[in-house]
Amino acid sequence: MNAEKRRKIFERLRQADPNPTTELNYRSPFELLIAVILSAQATDKSVNKATGQLFQLADTPEKMLALGEEGLKKVIRHIGLYNSKAKNIIQTCRILIEKHHGEVPRTRVELEALPGVGRKTANVVLNTAFGEETIAVDTHIFRVANRTRLAPGKTPLAVEKKLLKVVPKPFRRHAHHWLILLGRYTCVARKPRCGACLIEDLCEYPNKTRD
């Protein structure tokens, strides 16, 4: 895919949604961090249902630590992998208090040092909470980047590096959210809704569907 096509793709995505954001509910970098940890192998809808209650009880590392692992499990028990997530979140809160004065760190190295936080989670926090030009490649972005030929790659990291190279700078801040939403609602896994896609004529997917 050439540079002109890529620019047109993001121009259309921006026109349709000038200020995209995550569908996870949060009010602070800490709440976003916890929500993203919980979202691994879970839907945003299920996470929002749990955090609606959780953040009323514990919206700071101190309160979360006071809630404890067992107390946390009771609130998030309907989310997949809740046992390991509860353990990681409590450990993360302890580290935030002991090493970061209760604040969410703003560097990738410090974020990835937290239990339950990998590169994708760190990228989401850096982008959504702190405005960094990062792209967290989840299954949706990986599929869209490869299917459209926007930034093909064999691994999420390869796709991330390619996107950071080819996405024009004016669009890099929001590219993460635009591509996730495109993959979640239009360029879906089993049968992409090509006829309803606003970038269909720019996409290089050879097996487009019209119905």
At 106, the amino acid letter reads: R
* CA separation for the pair 206, 19 (Å, rounded): 30
Please state the φ and ψ torsions of residue 80, each to the nearest 5 degrees: -60, 145
The helix or strand, by DSSP H or E, that contains position 89, with its residue range, turns out to be helix 82-100
d(CA 34, CA 115): 11
Q: Token pair 């979202």 is at which residue? A: 39
Is residue 8 a contact partner of residue 169, using CB atoms and an 8 Å limit?
Answer: no
Positive/negative CA dihedral, 125, 128, 133, 137: positive
**Catalytic residue numbers, as ranges:** 120, 138
Sign of the alpha-carbon torsion through 174, 180, 184, 188: positive
Structure token digits, residue 1: 């895919």
Report how far residue 174's alpha carbon sits from residue 132's, in angstroms, rounded to the nearest whole number. 10
